[in-house]
């Protein structure tokens, strides 16, 4: 894989999709429909999906492509594939809370090696560079990359006072019970894959997810976090979260800075 080209294409398509999403977000009203699993979908999801899919298929025709909106056509991913969530955080989008993201990732042998996470309403753009390290680009965002700042996890989290990030839309008692086993300094809520990015930048130390997610929800944020020195492991046995699973459904997981001493499930 030419990672320089991959990086440029993922960044370009994420920004273009983000611009289209924001056009719809700024409209007075937009239609919200329910998919077969009762999750919401909007014209923004579909427009971003079409734009990113066309761009990736044109640039990398030989690499399998999995997207949330087209997942029904794929029984199982290959060893190497591109995976896209064109609008993660549709609930945040519908409620105009701003915590939604565009996500594109490249997976090889079960590992998300490269990824981009763009939060257009927040003006935040995170991605892995060609050498696998993670950065946050400073806006405004143009055709060519602007100033980038290397990001990294909190190198020595204080287990006596962790910063924890949890879901805005999917917080439950099981998650609260798990978090209660740690000494928490403070907590914040965020939607979509931004939670991975907050751990990647050191703005949070721990993100547990005890709820249903799919690989397209997590792959890009996982790649950014790994490139920043973080880890994502299964909740049950603390082995690395793997990709390319049948059906693309994730187990519960924990994203964290490596200095955090994880509590056994």
Tens digits of residue pLDDT in 234-244: 999 999 999 99
238-256 average pLDDT score: 95
- Give the model's pLDDT for residue 69: 74
**Confidence tier at 154 by pLDDT (50, 70, 90):** very high
List binding-site positions for substrate: 68, 87-90, 217
Residue 76 has pLDDT above 70, yes or no: no
Specify the pTM.
0.93
List binding-site positions: 68, 85, 87-90, 217
24-29 average pLDDT score: 81
List binding-site positions for Mg(2+): 68, 85, 87-88, 217
191-198 average pLDDT score: 94
- Give the model's pLDDT for residue 70: 74
Concatenated DSSP letters for 63-81? S-EEEGGGGGG-SS--SEE
How long a stretch of residues is the chain?
Answer: 265
Spell out the long-range contacts of 139-142 with Cβ–Cβ below 8 A and sequence spacing 24 or more. Answer: 141/15
Range 3-150 classified under CATH 3.30.540.10? yes
Most confident by average pLDDT, 73-77, 117-121, 179-183: 117-121
Report the share of the chain in percent with pLDDT over 90. 71
**Which class would CATH give 162-256?**
alpha beta
Residue 37 has pLDDT above 60, yes or no: no
**Confidence tier at 156 by pLDDT (50, 70, 90):** confident
- Give the model's pLDDT for residue 165: 95
Q: Which single residue is written with the structure tokens 């187990």?
A: 251
- Give the model's pLDDT for residue 128: 98
Q: Which single residue is written with the structure tokens 């960044």?
A: 11
Concatenated DSSP letters for 213-265? -BHHHHHHHHHHHHHTT-EEEETTT-PBP-S--GGGB---EEEE-TTS-PPP-
- Give the model's pLDDT for residue 125: 98
Q: Residue 245: is it exposed, middle or buried by C-beta count within 10 angstroms (0-12/13-18/19+)?
A: middle
Identify the residue with better confidence: 191 or 244: 244
Ordered by start, the domain boundaries in the chain are 3-150, 162-256
- Give the model's pLDDT for residue 42: 79
- Give the model's pLDDT for residue 138: 95
83-89 average pLDDT score: 94
Q: What is the CA radius of gyration of the chain?
A: 17
**Confidence tier at 35 by pLDDT (50, 70, 90):** low
CB-facing half-sphere around the CA of 184: CA atoms within 13 A: 17
52-57 average pLDDT score: 97
**Confidence tier at 140 by pLDDT (50, 70, 90):** very high
């Amino acid at each position: 894989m030419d990672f320089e080209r991959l990086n440029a294409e993922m960044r370009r398509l994420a920004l273009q999709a983000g611009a289209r999403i924001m056009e719809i977000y700024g409209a007075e009203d937009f239609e919200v429909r329910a998919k077969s699993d009762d999750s919401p979908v909007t014209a923004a999801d579909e427009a971003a999906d079409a734009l990113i899919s066309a761009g990736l298929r044109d640039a990398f025709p030989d690499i399998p492509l999995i997207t949330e909106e087209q997942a029904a056509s794929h029984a199982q991913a290959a060893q190497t594939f591109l995976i896209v969530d064109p609008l993660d955080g549709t609930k945040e989008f519908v409620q105009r809370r701003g915590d939604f993201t565009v996500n594109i990732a490249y997976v090889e042998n079960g590992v998300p090696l490269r990824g981009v996470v763009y939060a257009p309403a927040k003006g935040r753009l995170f991605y892995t560079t060609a050498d696998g390290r993670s950065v946050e680009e400073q806006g405004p965002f143009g055709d060519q990359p602007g100033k980038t700042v290397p990001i990294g996890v909190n190198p020595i989290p204080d287990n006596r006072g962790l910063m924890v990030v949890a879901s805005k839309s999917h917080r439950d008692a099981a998650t609260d019970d798990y978090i209660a086993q740690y000494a928490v300094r403070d907590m914040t809520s965020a939607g979509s894959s931004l939670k991975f990015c907050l751990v990647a930048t050191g703005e949070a130390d721990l993100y547990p997810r005890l709820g249903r997610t799919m690989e397209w929800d997590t792959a890009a944020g996982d790649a950014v976090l790994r490139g920043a020195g973080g880890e994502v492991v299964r909740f049950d046995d603390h082995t690395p979260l793997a990709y390319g699973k049948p059906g693309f459904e994730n187990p519960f997981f924990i994203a964290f800075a490596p200095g955090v001493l994880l509590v056994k499930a």
